[in-house]
Amino acid sequence: MVRTRFAPSPTGHLHIGSARTALFNWLFSRHHGGDFILRIEDTDRVRSTEESTLAIFEALKWLGLDWDEEPFYQSQRTDIYKEYLENLLNQGKVYRCYCDPDELEEKKKLAFARKEKPKYDGKCRELTETYPDKPFVIRFKSPQSGKTEVDDLIKGKIIFENSELDDLILYRRDGTPTYNFVVVVDDVNMKITHIIRGDDHVNNTPRQILLYQALNAPLPEFAHMPLTLGKDKARLSKRHGATSVMAYKEMGYLPQAMINFLVRLGWSYGDQEIFSMDELVEKFSLENVGISAGIFNPDKLLWLNSHYIKEETDESLAGLLIPFLEKKGVKVDDVKFLAKIIKGFKERSKTLDEMADKTLFYFKDEIEYQPKAAKKFLTLEIVDVLTEVINRFEKAEDFSEEGIETIFDKITSEHNITLGQLAQPHRVALTGGTASPGIYEVIANLGKERVIKRLKDAIIFIENYG
């Protein structure tokens, strides 16, 4: 039974890179019909917040990554860690270290200055006496010779010299356990079979393997995925723009687009670009994960988003669009109408936010003309035509797109003008600008009453300013 886990520390929003790690774990588990466990690594009590925990849940749900069992919280598992520590204590595999942290810090700096690797010197390693009144940390008695091999599912075999590793601290002087210890204990205790995580953990892996061995626990499989970098090839961070998954939701991205983008960053399946979630579960494998780091490419995400917007139904898009419209001051009370007008914007919008902006003219009482557009198309010469259109519209019984087209056809031939010459002034009068969905569609959706009012408003505008 495959069991993977996603173990974020709740110190902020869900980062794009973390989401990708979660996705790969989730896909691997689901592909193998296994479990996907969520573990909140909140041992850093000052930086961890419940708000962040909730934000992480929300982001995972938005992405469609569901987890099995209740989430685990490391802060509630101190007894378990103690138990495992006892085990090590009894075996004599750990020891108390009374070294002064400031002194250690000094030594480290010195080592760096001498261009040597800063390593704990093992001063307390063979200490036999104990000092009950002195503060201490608990260190792992790491083997000083030999090699530790990591058989990485993505990177292949990586060999470390044990002499490179120092005696890492398992418990701090305040009596709380450290990361490398709790991770191993939890992964053992939760029977995690595959540890899929970021590249930045490879150097932790030999120490963790040594801990597994000390605990006499079976070793899981390791798979280290390449990191996501920013445009300047540095680790993706805020300076590269939004890094929070939910920020993308707020900018009008669809979760399918995010998933599809994230998975293709490092994973491929021949030349295929578009994958549904079901397809991913079916096709995902670690063998097809690349080994080199990838750069976050916002343009590709945007393209994927426009693709999924086109795939979405008008009705569901309408539902998704409402919050974006409300943010812009539009109260939507007719969702049917919204779904109807959306048709014209699906192929014109790359995000929901952009779509909301474009639909705005439908909801306005007064149209504000873009100065350039008004100057070019709302001119004195067009007033006669506009007036005639109003007359025809008033008498029109068929106000469907076809009916409107018939009227426009008549006018263009009678006045010997092109459709462009007729449509553009209408577009400006009706929408305020020169770009919109098809003019018949806009007129039909707006309805006779609003169209006539806007055309009349335009004539008044021309007479005053034209």
Segment contacting RNA by CB under 7 A, of 39-47, 124-132, 240-248, 447-455: 39-47
Structure tokens belonging to residue 112: 């760096």
Q: How many residues bind RNA (CB under 7 A)?
A: 84
Between 193 and 349, whose beta carbon lies closer to RNA?
A: 349
Structure tokens belonging to residue 2: 């495959």
Rounded Cα gap, residues 20 and 229, in angstroms: 12
Q: How far is the CB of 50 from RNA (least distance, A)?
A: 15
| Contacting RNA within 101-130 (CB under 7 A) | 101, 104, 108, 112, 115-120
- DSSP label at residue 235: B
Taking CB under 7 A as the criterion, the residue among 96, 141, 235, 448 binding RNA is 235
238 is catalytic: yes
Q: ∠ at Cα 147 (155, 123), nearest 5°?
A: 125
Measuring CA to CA, how many Å separate 285 from each of 28, 268, 279?
A: 7, 9, 12
| Contacting RNA within 404-423 (CB under 7 A) | 418-420, 423
CB atoms within 10 A of CB 164: 13
**Chain centroid to CA 244:** 6
194 pairs with which residues across the strands? 221
Burial class (CB in 10 A: 0-12, 13-18, 19+), 115: exposed
Q: Does 293 bind RNA (CB under 7 A)?
A: yes
Between 34 and 49, whose beta carbon lies closer to RNA?
A: 49
- Residue 188 DSSP SS3: helix
Between 201 and 392, whose beta carbon lies closer to RNA?
A: 201
Q: Does 201 bind RNA (CB under 7 A)?
A: yes
Segment contacting RNA by CB under 7 A, of 157-165, 213-221, 332-340, 454-462: 157-165
| Contacting RNA within 368-407 (CB under 7 A) | none
Taking CB under 7 A as the criterion, the residue among 151, 164, 279, 463 binding RNA is 164
Q: Does 290 bind RNA (CB under 7 A)?
A: yes
CB atoms within 10 A of CB 200: 11
Structure tokens belonging to residue 354: 């952009």
Taking CB under 7 A as the criterion, the residue among 193, 243, 359, 436 binding RNA is 436
Q: Does 174 bind RNA (CB under 7 A)?
A: yes
Q: Does 94 bind RNA (CB under 7 A)?
A: no
Between 49 and 178, whose beta carbon lies closer to RNA?
A: 178
The bridge status of strand 147-152 relative to strand 156-161 is: antiparallel
Q: How far is the CB of 241 from RNA (least distance, A)?
A: 14
Taking CB under 7 A as the criterion, the residue among 80, 302, 330, 390 binding RNA is 302
Q: How far is the CB of 220 from RNA (least distance, A)?
A: 17
Between 161 and 315, whose beta carbon lies closer to RNA?
A: 161
Contact between 425 and 377 under an 8 Å Cβ cutoff? The reply is yes
Between 1 and 113, whose beta carbon lies closer to RNA?
A: 113
Structure tokens belonging to residue 446: 């707006």
| Contacting RNA within 243-272 (CB under 7 A) | 264-266, 268, 270-271
Taking CB under 7 A as the criterion, the residue among 93, 172, 283, 448 binding RNA is 172
Which one from 147, 191, 231, 238 is the annotated catalytic residue?
Answer: 238
- DSSP label at residue 15: B
Rounded Cα gap, residues 196 and 447, in angstroms: 56
Structure tokens belonging to residue 386: 């506009």
Q: Does 355 bind RNA (CB under 7 A)?
A: no
Segment contacting RNA by CB under 7 A, of 249-257, 329-337, 376-384, 438-446: 438-446
Output phi, psi for 343, to 5 deg. Answer: -45, -40
Q: Does 80 bind RNA (CB under 7 A)?
A: no
Rounded Cα gap, residues 121 and 164, in angstroms: 12
Q: Does 137 bind RNA (CB under 7 A)?
A: yes
Q: Does 49 bind RNA (CB under 7 A)?
A: no
Burial class (CB in 10 A: 0-12, 13-18, 19+), 50: exposed
Q: Does 138 bind RNA (CB under 7 A)?
A: no
Residue showing tokens 């009349």: 456
Between 281 and 293, whose beta carbon lies closer to RNA?
A: 293
Taking CB under 7 A as the criterion, the residue among 216, 292, 413, 464 binding RNA is 292
Structure tokens belonging to residue 370: 């873009």
Rounded Cα gap, residues 177 and 170, in angstroms: 6
Active site residue ranges: 238
